[in-house]
Amino acid sequence: MQDNNNTVAGWVLFAGIVALGSSLVAGTYFHGERPEKMGYPIEGVVEEGGSGEAEQPIEFYLASADAAKGADVFKKCQACHNAEKGGANALGPNLYGAFGKPHGHVPGFAYSDALKGVPGVWDWKSMSEWLANPKKYAPGTKMTFAGLSNPEDRANVMAYLNSKSDAPMPLPAAPVASTPGAAGDKAASEADDAGAQKAENEPVLTEQDAQKGGIANIRGEGAPKVTAPGTTATPAPKQ
């Protein structure tokens, strides 16, 4: 009986060793690291990286902003905010007529000290920075929304919020977008202008001058020199 117990214990121990070895081998081939790009984007969460293109100033995107598209983007905010005139505060304050107002302007809403402590008013730049990353704009804010990484979405939602006002603010002028080849194009244009000016200043040979040049070459005398009007040309020495 004792031998049977020892045999069973031996097999159990052997099975445990095999299972442990298998788990170690599997861990070598299958890692639990976070993938570089998540397979399922989460609404309201900023995705790191982006398209890699340099972001233009927000005025660039506001020039073509669409309030109707902004209304669709604002649906992400409606769980906490409304933007209707006379609307009640919810988890977040009512946003009607927010542009041009100081931070923490809605009476009766319990703003965080972090947001109330930010100087200035809600203008295009400050609103864009807030919507892009609330926690970066006002560290310690109670706002839990991660932000809108797409500048076009921010411009559209700002155009929508601006329309929700008794006195909408005028859109800012769009900045002149600079292109990497602008300096090279300007240099090439200046070079072309210089070449054209030089060509205008060079004397023009007539058909008769060309014929004389051909005869001189046959005689070995070389081409005649062209001089400006009013000067005397020095004849080429004979060979």
pLDDT digits (tens, 9 = 90+) for 87-112: 999 999 999 999 999 999 999 999 99
On the question of pLDDT at 125 being above 90, the answer is yes
Q: Is the pLDDT of residue 52 over 70?
A: no
Under the phi-then-psi rule, with left for phi > 0, alpha for psi from -120 to 50, and beta for the rest, what region is 227? Answer: beta
Lowest mean pLDDT segment, chosen from 4-8, 48-52, 178-182, 234-238 = 48-52
- Helix H, strand E, coil C: the string for 153-217 is HHHHHHHHHHHCCCCCCCCCCCCCCCCCCHHHHHHHHHHHHHHHHHHHHCCCCCHHHHHHHHHHH
pLDDT at 61 over 70: yes
Give the residue from 110, 105, 107 showing the smallest Cα distance to 126.
Answer: 105
Whether 44 has a pLDDT exceeding 50, the answer reads no
97: left (phi over 0), alpha (psi -120 to 50) or beta: left
Confidence check: pLDDT of 53 > 70 = yes
Determine the pLDDT at residue 32: 41
How far is the C-alpha of 130 from the C-alpha of 35, rounded, in Å?
29
Res 158: pLDDT: 97
pTM of this prediction exceeds 0.85: no
Least confident among 8-17, 124-133, 177-186: 177-186
Report, as an integer, the average pLDDT of 23-40: 43
* pLDDT per residue as tens digits for the range 185-236: 555 556 566 555 555 555 554 555 545 554 444 445 554 454 455 555 555 5
Share the mean pLDDT of the chain.
Answer: 74
Mean pLDDT within 54-60: 93
Which pLDDT score, from 0 to 100, does residue 176 have?
74
Q: Rounded distance, CA 41 to CA 188, Å?
A: 46
pLDDT value for 188? 56
What is the per-residue pLDDT for 92?
A: 94
Distance separating the N- and C-terminal Cα atoms of the chain: 130
